[in-house]
Amino acid sequence: MNSKFNNSFELREADRVEITTLMDNYTDRLLPSTGVAKRAPLAVGGQLIPQTPLAEHGLSLLIRVFRGSEEHTVLFDAGWSDIGVPFNMKLFGVDVNQIEAIVLSHGHMDHFGALIEVLKVKKNIPLILHPDAFTAPRGRKAPDGRMVKFPTLDEQSLIEAGANLVKTKSPYLLTEGLLASTGEIERVTDFEKGMPSACLERNGKIEHDPILDDQGAVIHVKGKGLVVISGCCHAGVINTIYHAQSITKIDKVYAVLGGFHLSGPVFEPIIGRTIKELKKIAPKVIVPMHCTGWKAINEIAKEMPHQFLLNSVGTKFLL
């Protein structure tokens, strides 16, 4: 697949990947485990766990990549609040000091909420993000034309907290070449138009915000194909997959996980087309999360029942 970005590189093959959901919109302690999805335990040693994971409108994934004796850990996004992700990390026994890098999918509040709290524990950690993640002020346009402003990501606060900022529009290799952030995603489909109400203020005027900082992550699992991870897919989930294929020069897609942003009346009309294209790509595992929306999740489950897995906070995906 051709790309105007020409940012191709070679990912080292991983033997396997574990992705643990630290934050999503839903939590369900009674979901059964499968061969791919290991659910958070309800009890340990015959004793009911007294606390339940927290859920919020946000996303955070802990990615562990394995190759031979190598083991690497990356945090992808950090939820909305400064409470949820740290609480769930403690509940799941996550050692923050094992995190080697953080990838931020984009600069919206439901993805950067607990960054400062994580940085308080782990200093001088690389934080990979698009330069536009610091765009401010940004928000959405209300029906009356006013701008509803979002909380913004503060660069200086991140630096003071100990982040080693890596601001790049290009794909960026991490974990000794076993994982890459995708960088800015090329938008080539004719139906994924982004978020029409997204806006920003520039020179005192309100403009449309294309959310160009939207990015994902990609891993190449030996003998299986690409694992593509998204935050909100403001660029579109199909564009995200195409871009991952383009920069890695690998067509085979094994798994797609993350927010697909198909929620609400603006995006529901493209659910059918999205599923049609997903069927052509034919991943073995598909896990819609966060902003995908209940209607889209149900349609994906109906149309791709053998690939679909329902997510819940605390689920560990063994890929």
**Structural domain of residue 195, as residue ranges?**
13-40+55-318
User: Is the confidence at residue 303, as pLDDT, over 50?
Assistant: yes
- The reply to whether 4 falls in a domain is no
Quote the pLDDT of residue 7.
53
Question: Which DSSP category does 308 fall into?
Answer: B
- The reply to whether 8 falls in a domain is no
Structure tokens at 38: 């290991």
Digit-coded pLDDT (tens) for 140-150: 998 888 899 99
- The reply to whether 50 falls in a domain is no
- The reply to whether 46 falls in a domain is no
- Peptide bond connecting 137 to the previous residue in cis, omega within 30 degrees of 0: yes
Structure tokens at 236: 């579109």
Neighbours of 174 (CB within 10 A): 22
- How many distinct structural domains can be found in the chain? 1
- CATH code at position 219: 3.60.15.10
Give me the residue label for tokens 């160009």.
Answer: 212
pTM reported for the whole predicted model? 0.95
- The reply to whether 6 falls in a domain is no
- The reply to whether 176 falls in a domain is yes
**Burial letters for 241-257: b for 16+ Cβ neighbours within 10 Å, e otherwise?**
bbbbbbbbebeebbbbb
Q: For residue 203, name the pLDDT band (cuts at 50, 70, 90).
A: confident
Q: What are phi and psi of 265, to 5 degrees?
A: -65, -25
- The reply to whether 87 falls in a domain is yes
C-alpha 194, offset from chain centre = 16
Digit-coded pLDDT (tens) for 39-85: 988 877 777 887 899 999 999 999 999 999 999 999 999 999 999 99
Q: What distance in Å separates the CA atoms of residue 22 and residue 251, rounded to the nearest whole number?
A: 29
- The reply to whether 2 falls in a domain is no
Q: What angle do CA 267, 269, 271 make, to 5 degrees?
A: 80
